[in-house]
Chains A and B, each alone.
Chain A
């Protein structure tokens, strides 16, 4: 099924996850500013006052996309249609082209406000696909689902990548590829990160995430969004671009916010990786045509 709400507006290049302490930087002239912003609708919908004024001002300068936290796609609780209606209205008000969510659940019998892992089973695929279809029908846009970082795996009858791909194929949804999460999970659950990324269909990847993580031990990484991106994840981003082409990429930094110059360097690094990937592709095409 093709979804189009009539307000399709593409984003490209480098994005930044919006946090309130960053607003002053984003409103001031900077050497490097992101080309678009990603925000959590649950932190902005229905807010007046300073938040509303900030959002209006930012929306005049930056395209905005939504990255949800509370939809709880795998939850046994009923799908929150009131939240979805509010998101639909919000997307229309700010001409927002993308809404993404996590392939996880965040509670049963009420919210726990965190991302909990789902069992990788056929039953779960069916459950999640039904809910994603309901979301897409209500919003009339394809949902992009994110591969989450996880620190435990429940009894399953397939691998994580097979589960993820099953959901994507059966629901027709898009992918938000979180490169850091692939890396974190490849350490926590010992699989080949490159193999995971290669298995994804390029044409379904709508955009990407990159972030820092915390090394709890040699075998346990936690996706904190609280540190700089490590070189292994930068390498994996380069690999992702080589595999799937350059996609819009959001830097997520939620905690231990550094000074703007430091964040800026990471935004510039994403842009450089994108440029390198485009140049490599053009050189390869040039070599072929010679």
Chain B
């Protein structure tokens, strides 16, 4: 027996421990624990959460100094009441905290970076509800038939050109000597729309494709119509786009056809109806 006590309020004590783990500066004491013991537990809690979030946000972490990153984790632990028992959802908890509770000065594009990294995690872990069956058909067939989208493909739009970071820096292993250059690039990022298609391929690899404004709207419309009661072909959508944006139908049709072929190769779109057993379309290769 460690301590002879008779009237310990256990529930209050558990809250005291949790409070001290969250904010050891404001709540440094836990009844019956030495300062060293509080320190050991606090370090374990901090390191565990820091390590989990580091793995989720290599890009966001690299975009700020070590000191600010530590501050983000400290505030997250102190103020955010995480509800999820699932570790892979911790990324979403941090995003929620940064969007609604944090009072930390971050780069202007931080929200975009955090969102993109959350989307990459969601895409990797998304549990399919529909079967996706790839197709290999001619452009003519693609354009003129109803299109089905891979559930694990979605388009994202941001205010900053964060896609450029992936081309310039080795995001998953930024060498220390590039850290300052990376932070500078992130901080000087101009306000300019950026569109990205995030998808998971047949080998479960998460990939990204840069989209321009036209391809973003094209994909968004395809996505809106995919699986809807109204059977709409890409040709119909392309005509609609050209008319709305007042562009040459011929040019939009050419670009749209090229995109569809690329997306078919990447298993992002298919002419095969996931609800039918075979994919017997005229023109199927």
Contact = CB atoms under 8 A, between A and B. Distances in A.
Interface of A: 40, 42-43, 45-53, 69-71, 74-76, 80, 83, 105, 107-114, 116, 118-121, 123-124, 127, 151-159, 189, 216, 220, 222
Contacts of B32: 152-155
A109 B15 contact: yes
A113 B82 contact: yes
A110 B204 contact: no
Contacts of A124: 10
A137 B176 CA distance: 53
B33 A152 contact: yes
A88 to B, nearest CB: 14
A41 to B, nearest CB: 9
B22 A112 contact: yes
B3 A158 contact: no
B280 interface: no
A23 to B, nearest CB: 12
B21 A156 contact: no
**Shortest 4 CB-CB distances between A and B: which pairs?**
A110-B81, A70-B85, A48-B127, A152-B37
5 contacts: A49-B127, A49-B200, A114-B45, A152-B38, A154-B33
Given A43-B86, A152-B32, A152-B38, 19 more contacts: A42-B86, A43-B87, A46-B127, A47-B125, A50-B204, A76-B11, A107-B82, A109-B15, A109-B18, A111-B84, A119-B8, A119-B13, A121-B5, A121-B10, A127-B10, A152-B33, A153-B3, A155-B31, A157-B6
B10 A123 contact: yes
A189 B86 contact: no
Given A108-B18, A111-B83, A118-B14, A151 B48 contact: no
B108 interface: no
Given A52-B127, A152-B34, A156-B5, A220 B41 contact: no
B82 A43 contact: no
Interface in B189-245: 200, 204
Interface string B13-49: 1110111011000000011111001101100110011
Contact of B1 (A42, A156, A216): A156
Nearest to A152: B37
Interface residues of B, number: 50
Contacts of A83: 85
Contact of B17 (A71, A154, A220): A154
A43 B88 contact: yes
Interface string B37-77: 11011001100110010000000000000000000000001
A113 B13 CA distance: 18
Contact of B77 (A112, A189, A222): A112
Nearest to B15: A108
Contacts of A43: 86-88
Nearest to B128: A48
A83 B86 CA distance: 9
Interface string B119-133: 000001111100000
B183 interface: no
A107 B18 contact: yes
Contact of B88 (A47, A110, A114): A47
Interface residue SS majority, chain A: loop
B15 A76 contact: yes
B14 A108 contact: yes
B203 to A, nearest CB: 9
Contacts of B10: 118-119, 121, 123-124, 127
Nearest to A110: B81
B125 A51 contact: yes
A121 B11 CA distance: 11
Given A112-B45, A113-B90, A114-B48, A49 B81 contact: no
Q: Which of A43, A80, A111 is the most central at the interface, judged by chain B CB atoms within 10 Å of its CB?
A: A111
A155 B3 contact: yes
A231 B44 CA distance: 25
B150 interface: no
Interface in B237-272: none
B82 A110 contact: yes
Contacts of B86: 42-43, 45-46, 70
A260 to B, nearest CB: 22
Contacts of B84: 111
Contacts of A107: 18, 82
Nearest to B11: A76
A175 B49 CA distance: 28
Given A45-B86, A152-B37, A157 B30 contact: no
Nearest to A107: B18
B204 A153 contact: no
B40 A222 contact: yes
Given A47-B127, A113-B48, A155-B32, A80 B6 contact: no
Contacts of B49: 112-113
B162 to A, nearest CB: 23
Contacts of B15: 76, 108-109
Contacts of B204: 49-50, 53
Contact of B13 (A47, A71, A155, A157): A155
B82 A105 contact: no
Contacts of A112: 18, 21-22, 45, 49, 77, 82
